[in-house]
Amino acid sequence: MTKQNLQPTYDANFASSQPIGSVENDEIDLRELFAVIWQGKWLIIAITAVFAIGAVIFAINQPNIYKSEALLAPADVEQGGGGLAALAGQFGGLASMAGINLGGGGGGVDKTQMAIEVMKSRQFTSNFIQKHNILPDLMAAKKWNMADNTIIYADQLYNQADKKWLRVVDAPFKPKPSMQEAYKVFSKIITVNAAKDTGMVTVSVEHLSPAVAHQWVNWLVQDINKEMKDRDVAEATRSTTFLKSQIEQTNIADIRTILYKLIEEQAKTIMFAEVRDEYVFKTIDPALIPEEKSKPKRALICVLGTMLGGMLGVILVLIRYFVRKEN
């Protein structure tokens, strides 16, 4: 038997059909690209200059935004957890036989986190805006006059003299902004953050006027403390009324003892709330009227605008070259 030749054969016709240097032609020649860019340098410079000038004009026309913030600490409010938990452990079995649930599950609500979520809620924001009448400052402020510390409103939005809204909007919107619109704007300028490691809470507000930003931070802290206080007092009052009605319905001495102790805990909650203004948050570092703006970063806007113009100019030069080359 003869051995077959398994060596690959060279097809001269196939090799000659491939263009010499086709692989090299498909690769990008960097020297060619640099030459193309150099030839179109004036177009690149012109586009970059236009974008740079536009970025400078845009940055100059942006109003200064001031940020005021306060550092708060949880006030460690006892929401009846300690007293009720002790009662639940001591009389839980007896109370359950009487049909009374003392809780005692240990799954108490984090009052600090609850207060933060309340501050971010639509209802609290709407009440805050209406209570302090800040809708024009929120929705129609155009710029801040440093000389007399006043806010200048956009004429097409709000007439300050007549206190009348002049917005031209399509239905269902009205000239006067709704609370839903105000909430969207307000949620963008307020920040409430809690540090995971320390538990400290930072409340900040951004506005055209540093005095307004400072005032709103103070109002927010005051209002959230009052809101949480009123909630606990109302709940303790309702609980007391219910417990008193339960006392009248039972003659069992041990059950009545439990109910009296529960009423005592509710009385402590009400007393604690009434004598303490900083109910949920204690102010560690109060808000100040900022002297320096926080936004906009005008230098950064100019640099980014110039870079964008240069990149766009290079792309347009390359596109023009390859289009002409294909034709």
- Determine the average pLDDT of the residues in 18-26: 46
* Token pair recorded at residue 105: 């599950």
- In this prediction, residue 119 has a pLDDT band, given cuts at 50, 70 and 90, of very high
What pLDDT, in 10s, does the model give residues 159-215? 988 889 999 888 888 999 999 999 999 999 999 998 888 889 999 999 999 999 999
Largest CA distance in the chain: 117
CA 61 to chain centre: 25
% of the chain at pLDDT higher than 90: 46
Q: What is the mean pLDDT of the chain?
A: 82
Is residue 256 a contact partner of residue 250, using CB atoms and an 8 Å limit? yes
From the number of C-beta atoms within 10 Å of its C-beta (0-12, 13-18, 19+), residue 39 rates as: exposed
pTM: 0.74
What is the distance between the alpha carbons of residues 272 and 166, in angstroms, rounded to a whole number? 47
The helix/strand/coil state of 85 is helix
pLDDT classification of 276: cutoffs 50, 70, 90: confident
Q: Is the pLDDT of residue 236 over 70?
A: yes
Nearest-angstrom CA–CA distance, 132 and 84 = 38
Residue corresponding to tokens 């948050």: 281
Structural element, H or E, at residue 35: helix 30-39
Q: Per the omega criterion (within 30 degrees of 0), is the bond before 296 cis?
A: yes
